[in-house]
Amino acid sequence: MLQQPDIEPQGPTAPARSGLLIHARELFRLRVDKSTARVRFASLCFVGLFSLIGGRLVYLAVTSDNTSAVRRAASSEISAARPDIVDRNGEVLATDVKMVSVFAEPRNIIDKDEAVELLTAVLPDLDATDLRNKLGTKKGFVWVKREITPRQQAEVHRLGIPGVGFLPENKRVYPNAVAAAHVLGFANVDNVGIAGIEKYIDSQGLQDLNGAGFAISAADLKPVQLSLDLRVQHALRDELQKGMAKFKAKATAGAVLDVNTGEIIALVSLPDFDPNNPVDALQDDKINRINVGVFEMGSTFKALTVAMALDSGKYNINSSFDARSGLRYGKFTIGDYHATHRVLTTPEVFVHSSNIGTARMALGIGVEGHKAFLRKMGQLARLETELPENAAPIIPPRWGELNTMTIAFGHGLAVAPLQALMAVGALVNGGMLIKPTFLKRTAEEARQTALQVIKPETSEAMRYVLRLNASVPQGSASSAAIAGFFVGGKTGTAEKVINGRYSKNKNFTTFTAVVPADKPKYVFLTIMDEPQAVEGTYGFSTAGWNAGPVTGNVIERVAPLLGIPPRFEAPAHPFPLMSRLGAWGSKP
């Protein structure tokens, strides 16, 4: 029988393939002695397969387009950290706390209706329609609810909805609630400053850093230290609130200014709001009346007129002015509220608050000279501070002699009260106009940008007449002359303009006080909007009956906090130049 010859495998790989096939047949042949090897081989196959799947899942989790989109969206949506705001003594006025917010990835939510039903069940204040519209988009990231409680977070977590997660955020809180609300302003839900110092901080580059992608925390940011003293702030607000209730005023406001540094030590405007609930700040009656309101300041403006007259050299402390009868100009006649019907010296014009006397002073200087002086004193342009909210003054479009006469005693020019406060500070601190600030600084730093606007001799004369107005019986500032603090001051009452006309029964009253008058450290300002005549005011609603005593209460309460202890003996020679000149009232 013929046999075919054996054919040898051709090529170098043939023996290897033959051996591999033989080894595989042997491995899977059902023999007991091969079972261990089979188990090991199967195990290796499963381990390899699952390692491949697991690695792929990790890769997708780290690098997938969806996750990257979520990360990019989250980085732009999460509220940025803000620096703490502290008062001059380091007390915290505003800070960040960590909160958690719920987000969703609409593209990864399978049953959107079920998700809406479940989420609104545990977060009942959600709008179901709005949430359904959000989840119905193709976006990779949407907010579900910002700033939830830990309990709400646990409830949402238990729902186990794929595509719904949590992100940590910063929430701005104000631990002292209404204290300094108009200065601090507030931040929105994205931790962006909307008003006040909060907005100022953003303008200094904070939002630029966040927009550039710098992940900063509050710990990386230096606290912003304000000039405010929280203790004085609380006391001022309390006294203003009492005064507002007592005199049934529509609104009230006050401020304390350091005349040597320009620092605002306290600022209150009532009614105010809680920056933790900033929606209240949008109400019209809750504006910052010290910065944003513009008002005719009434007779407090007479201090500027007297200073202008004395500093011009045309008049001196012993000059006299005819106030025997009304001052006529065309069809208008200017009269005095408390007419003396006699010739008055410069101090008497101030003490008797003579409209006639101050109008004659201004006419003597002239329209252009009057405008130039007020411009130099910062009364004819918007006063800019760290607060973004600053109002421009209302200036007569055509300023003639009659305007100069009425503006001399505080009618016809409306300014922000902080502007007037700044000017009075310059009148008493030696003649240096220092721009107010809400940030802590030293007197040396303040003087670097200060302007000498009146002579030191004029400043002494102004301190003298302010003190005289609080110390003589006929002076209108006696209601704020708290014993031991050597107070000087000036009242101001202006009729409010209603529908283009001055109202006879609606007043805007002001009181400016200097403490201590011989070496001033602080100027106090109180304003009251539409105070009423009440029991004990004998039918009057002028400043001496309301703004004056309220300011006195403030001085008595906060002067010790400001390091001004009461003096039980008057200074020996507080105004030496006035004594040498024999000014009216300087001799016992």
Catalytic residue positions? Answer: 299
HEC states along 553-574?
Answer: HHHHHHCCCCCCCCCCCCCCCC
Residue pair 379/301 in contact (Cβ under 8 Å)? The answer is no
Q: Could you give the count of Cα atoms lying within 13 Å of 515 in the half-sphere of its Cβ?
A: 31
* Orientation angle between helical segments 456-471 and 417-428, nearest 10 degrees: 110
Residue 499 tokens read as: 């529908």
Q: Where are the alpha helices (DSSP H) in 205-259?
A: 207-211, 230-246
What's the helix, strand, coil split of the chain in %, to 5?
A: 40, 20, 40
| Two tokens, residue 56 | 């792929």
User: Structure tokens of 324?
Assistant: 């025997």
Nearest partner of 386 among 425, 434, 439, judged by Cα:
439
- Secondary structure (DSSP) of 125-168: TS-HHHHHHHHTS--S-EEEEEEE-HHHHHHHHHH--TTEEEEE
User: Across the strands, what pairs with 169?
Assistant: 99
Task: Enumerate residues 6+ apart whose C-beta is below 8 A from 51.
Answer: none
DSSP state of 262: -
The alpha helices in 267-413, defined as continuous H runs, are: 302-312, 346-351, 355-365, 367-376, 401-408
Q: Which of 313, 260, 258, 256 is nearest to 454 (CA)?
A: 313
Q: Are 84 and 220 in contact (CB under 8 A)?
A: no
